Amino acid sequence: MTVHSRFCLGTLVLGVVLGAAACKDSPSGPGTRTPTTVVVSSPQTVMIVGSSIQLAAIVYDQNQSPIAGAQVQWESLTPQVASVTPDGVVTGVAIGTATIRATIGVIAGDVELTVDPDPCVTPIVLNVGQVRILSGPAAVACITLGATTTATDFLFVTANATQQLDNLGLYQVAVPVATSQSALASALGLQALDPQLAAEQQAVAYSDDLEAAVRRQEFDLMRRVAPAVRARAAQAGPAGGAALALAVAAEGDTVTYRVPDVRASNLCTTYTDVRAVVKRLTPHATIVQDVNAPSGGFSDADFTAIGQEFENVIYRTDTLFFGRETDRNADGRITILYTPEVNRATASGALGFIAGFFWGGDLVRRTEYQQQGIECPQTNEQEMFYLLVPDPNGTINSNPRSVSMVRVTTLGTITHEFQHMINQGIRLFDPAVQAAETPWLNEALSHMAEELVGRAKRGFADFQDLTFADVNPDPNQPDVYNSYFRQNLVRFRDWMFRPDTSSPISAKARDQIAPRGAGWMFLRYVTDHFSGGNARSFLRQVVAGPDVGLANVLQHAAGGQFDDMLSGFLVSQYADGLNVANLQPRYTVRSWDVRSVMTGASSNVFPLLVRPLPATISTQSLSGSGNYFRLTSATASPET
């Protein structure tokens, strides 16, 4: 039998045997843009003999900004395997590995390509743990598998490696043997029938929807005010000038703040004035509570513990991995405001709730808004987090909020929102940056922050391979798990249920939980394999940009190509934790035992949707994602 498939341009097919028998220039003057880096981009890193692909090269200057119109020279270092034209078109000549180089002056960038035989003509023979990548329409027109002498177990993953966000690929996978009518993987039943899992997803989606609305307003506002902010910073520095709330001298002081209505369509003009008492001062935080907070809330000991957690774990970890925050009011601290105004944002009886938020509008002064013709009287002109308060008796919207629940939840919220604060501040002031970070990567970084702070809290290393028992060792005491790990796993589980309908690099990460979960795990995978072993340096570079989205990741990913990242990521989400013999490390997740942690977070069922073969299946995939198929045989198989 032959495996026939039809794909749109930019997709790829992967196969892994899960079990079978062995069968630099001198300094330049002011204003000069000096090329310092060449990044070669390829739509695929595997091709077949006789096929051609178009390469592209981006030249970056000393500020890591792309130089538009820079011309490179192309060269094949292995012309006997692949040739390249002056325009960067590569053609496979013979089976082997080819290196293609792009140069400008003495600066060069390389890409390594594999040239394989035509799978329609030469049957594919794989040993246990081997993976074969097939890219492009010619390579996936048909796939012939060599004969085997014993039982076999193949995993096929079809994927859309187009870099255009939310490109939809429609295709058909056909194995023309008696068509299987088997039910889909148990993941679909798990999704439909387990009410606890469904409730978890809905609760996470509730808070994600609100944050997405905040980020949308912020994205547009920052674009409009950036020129005024940068001009002011060039004159006086980011902290220059007076601010609304001056540096607080002592605990016990009362300060007035403007809390934006997080449900409003314009946070600049819809807000509430509140008075708050300073409860704790730490080296990097001013912790305040609204004077109208309900009774039965935080004790003095709680505020002390919150300050210690922020200072010793959250602040230290987030700044280590993502960079430093701005200081618009020159007080050296971030204001952490607990206020019932956040409680009021959650409707009575809602399944989920709003724990808190950061609003980038606070990083801009009124005078800077006015210079751009924008009215934003709400701004507090400083770095702030807005968080809900304990309300044990449910006096606000009849929604009880215990002290312990608020403590646990808001710590994770601060961690997540702190990355947004750092990211927004860096991009607001850096003149090399042309735009705020794309939603999918901005959210992936903040979800990564949750994981990294959880690791720091538990004493885990940056790349330590974690199981479910590691992150949730005692289900009766799940505070650290609930604060820093659980929500990422809930989001990623939603992607695993239906990987064909969402993607880690999707713009839908603004308001859907599945792409946010997938974005976190994809960034985690890229950090594991393309950071050069230094997660902290890599993530700081990504936050600093100055590019955005996938281009930003590729710029800093040690020469990695997107289809390499995508193929490794997709295979790893099935194969990791299976201990498949001879499987290359790139097809595993270095820092997580995926099968253990996702099974533990999913009622002891591994939630990834895998369709059985033989069958004829018409399906789809968004760019950056794919579909999983499994073909097994209990006996020897002829050439198929």
Averaged confidence pLDDT in the chain: 87
Q: How many residues does the chain have?
A: 640
Look at residue 245 and tell me whether its pLDDT is greater than 50: no
| Per-residue model confidence (pLDDT) at position 54 | 94
| Per-residue model confidence (pLDDT) at position 459 | 97
CA distance 214 to 211: 5
Which amino acid would we find at residue 212? A
CA distance 551 to 525: 16
**Mean pLDDT for the stretch of residues 225-246:** 64
At 477, list the tokens. Answer: 């005491």
Look at residue 336 and tell me whether its pLDDT is greater than 80: yes
* CB 513, CB 494: distance < 8 Å: yes
Among 133-147, 360-374, 528-542, name the most confident range. Answer: 528-542
What are 574-586's pLDDT values in tens digits?
999 999 999 999 9
CA distance 215 to 207: 13
CA distance 445 to 423: 9
* CB 365, CB 379: distance < 8 Å: yes
| Per-residue model confidence (pLDDT) at position 147 | 85
Nearest C-alpha neighbor of 521 from the set 488, 543, 549? 488
* CB 632, CB 154: distance < 8 Å: yes
**Mean pLDDT for the stretch of residues 41-57:** 91
**Mean pLDDT for the stretch of residues 439-456:** 97
| Per-residue model confidence (pLDDT) at position 358 | 97
What are 627-637's pLDDT values in tens digits?
999 998 888 88
CA distance 165 to 471: 33
- Range of lowest pLDDT (102-111, 242-251, 416-425): 242-251
DSSP 472: -
At 72, list the tokens. Answer: 């490179």
CA distance 61 to 68: 10
| Per-residue model confidence (pLDDT) at position 222 | 80
Residue 241 pLDDT grade (very low, low, confident, very high; cuts 50, 70, 90): very low
- Range of lowest pLDDT (21-25, 72-76, 166-170, 359-363): 21-25
Look at residue 320 and tell me whether its pLDDT is greater than 70: yes
| Per-residue model confidence (pLDDT) at position 616 | 85
At 33, list the tokens. Answer: 């843009």
Residue 175 pLDDT grade (very low, low, confident, very high; cuts 50, 70, 90): confident
Kind of pairing between the strands at 96-104 and 107-116: antiparallel
Kind of pairing between the strands at 96-104 and 89-92: unpaired
Instruction: Decide which of 508 and 79 is more confident.
Output: 79
Output the CA–CA distances (angstroms, integers) from residue 122 to 117, 145, 185, 262, in the order listed: 6, 9, 32, 60
| Per-residue model confidence (pLDDT) at position 196 | 64
CA distance 185 to 610: 6
CA distance 418 to 423: 8
Which distant-in-sequence residues (6+ apart) come within 8 Å of 538 by Cβ? 527, 530, 531, 532, 556, 557
| Per-residue model confidence (pLDDT) at position 355 | 94
| Per-residue model confidence (pLDDT) at position 236 | 61
Instruction: Decide which of 209 and 597 is more confident.
Output: 597
Partners of residue 274 on adjacent β-strands = 257
Look at residue 372 and tell me whether its pLDDT is greater than 70: yes
Look at residue 195 and tell me whether its pLDDT is greater than 80: no
Look at residue 9 and tell me whether its pLDDT is greater than 80: no
Residue 176 pLDDT grade (very low, low, confident, very high; cuts 50, 70, 90): low
What are 288-298's pLDDT values in tens digits?
999 999 999 99
- Percentage above 70 pLDDT, the chain: 88
**SS3 state at 413:** helix
DSSP string, 435-468: SPPPHHHHHHHHHHHHHHHHHHHHT--TT--B-H
Helices 439-458 and 403-429 meet at what angle, rounded to 10?
A: 130
User: How far is residue 595 CA from its own chain's centroid?
Assistant: 19
**Mean pLDDT for the stretch of residues 84-98:** 95
What's the predicted TM-score (pTM) here? 0.88
What are 494-548's pLDDT values in tens digits?
999 999 889 999 998 888 899 999 999 999 999 999 999 999 999 999 999 999 9
Place of tokens 């006789």: 50
Nearest C-alpha neighbor of 167 from the set 43, 52, 8, 46? 8
Which amino acid would we find at residue 205? A
Kind of pairing between the strands at 285-290 and 334-338: parallel
Which amino acid would we find at residue 613? L
CA distance 593 to 528: 13
Residue 492 pLDDT grade (very low, low, confident, very high; cuts 50, 70, 90): very high
Question: Cα-Cα-Cα-Cα dihedral of 557, 565, 170, 511, to 10°?
Answer: -60
| Per-residue model confidence (pLDDT) at position 2 | 37
* CB 466, CB 459: distance < 8 Å: no
Instruction: Decide which of 237 and 192 is more confident.
Output: 237
Burial of 348 (0-12, 13-18, 19+ CB in 10 A): exposed
| Per-residue model confidence (pLDDT) at position 221 | 82
Kind of pairing between the strands at 152-160 and 168-174: unpaired
CA distance 9 to 449: 35
- Range of lowest pLDDT (189-203, 327-341, 412-426): 189-203
Nearest C-alpha neighbor of 107 from the set 63, 77, 70, 76? 70
**Mean pLDDT for the stretch of residues 299-307:** 97
